[in-house]
A and B are shown apart, each in its own frame.
Chain A
Amino acid sequence: MKIQFLCLWMAIVASVAMCFGQTSSTTPGNVPANEQAIIDLEKAVTEAYKNKKADVFRKYLAKNYVGINADGTTKRTSEATEMQNTDLRNYSFTDMKVVFPKAGVAVVTYKARVDSSAAGQDTSGAYNAASVWTKRWGNWVLISHAFIKSQ
């Protein structure tokens, strides 16, 4: 009987340990893993843009991607063309927030500070930005990006 009692105690301890293991894993900065994955994607697509890696950049954008800025809306093809005319020298993101309004849909918002020029004009400054990602065939793709110079 004592052995059965001991076994049950061990089972309870193991169950509790499993319980803790089942919560969303967090990164060292206490950001849940699913949110960190979106933050990492946002940084990866920006890094591809900065380094003018067109193939990598295009891979992140959905075919029906829509971008929006003070010049109007952009498509996947026009973003890739703009990338060639943009010199993004430095950037930093702060206040990054990720929400999942539905499984497979992520909205990330943040403040960006960029040191850049586009078509010869200085575009450096502080911006408010947002992206919407959706999961398609197991991969997250960017369907929308907004980039607004902050006042």
Chain B
Amino acid sequence: MYRQLSLLCVVLIATNTMCLAQTDSELSEEPSAAPSAAPVADAGTITDLEESVWKAYKNKQLRSFQGLLYKTYYGVYADGIKTLDMEVADMDKTNLDNYTLTDVQVKFPNANIAVITYKTSQGGTFDGKDVSGDYYNESVWVKKGDRWLNTFHTAIKAK
């Protein structure tokens, strides 16, 4: 009987441990409600990161490109809503000949989020079709640990 009792105690402890482990990690994290005391990145850092994404995309540098985007990334365009894997697949079909970024503006809603907006003039093709023109762009960067990662991007052809 004592042995059964001991076994039951072990099971009980294990169950409680499982219990604690089951909490939603997203919810258990402290929400970043207030601006944190961590130093805010400057606009130049975010601009450089954004330009790195463009450079990696143009040169089809898969690892560099993937390393700058967060795993839950979404891109929203006229031709659809794209995940990171879809963006990578699109990169293969894109020939970006040239681009320039202008009117760059960066805002920090809090110390862990940066929103960058800018205009691009670009020349290139996607899947054999000409996609050259002027576009309005926006990206949202989120600080994960000590790294900034792109979590959202949109590009809209200017009227």
Contact = CB atoms under 8 A, between A and B. Distances in A.
Interface of A: 1, 4-5, 8-9, 11-12, 15-16, 18-19, 22-24, 32, 34, 62, 64, 66, 68-73, 95, 97, 99-105, 107, 109-111, 128-130, 132, 134-138, 143-144, 146, 148-151
Given A19-B19, A34-B26, A151-B79, A103 B158 contact: no
Interface stretch (B9-17, B41-49, B58-66, B92-100): B9-17
B157 interface: yes
26 contacts: A8-B9, A12-B12, A19-B19, A23-B22, A68-B136, A70-B158, A73-B105, A73-B136, A99-B74, A99-B151, A102-B32, A102-B143, A105-B151, A128-B77, A128-B78, A130-B74, A130-B76, A136-B33, A136-B109, A144-B138, A144-B152, A146-B154, A148-B78, A148-B156, A149-B78, A151-B79
B152 A11 contact: no
A4 B2 CA distance: 11
Interface string B49-60: 000000000000
Contacts of A134: 32, 109-110, 113
A120 to B, nearest CB: 16
Contacts of B113: 102, 105, 132, 134, 143
Contact of A66 (B74, B76, B117, B157): B117
B138 A66 contact: yes
Given A34-B24, A66-B107, A18 B19 contact: yes
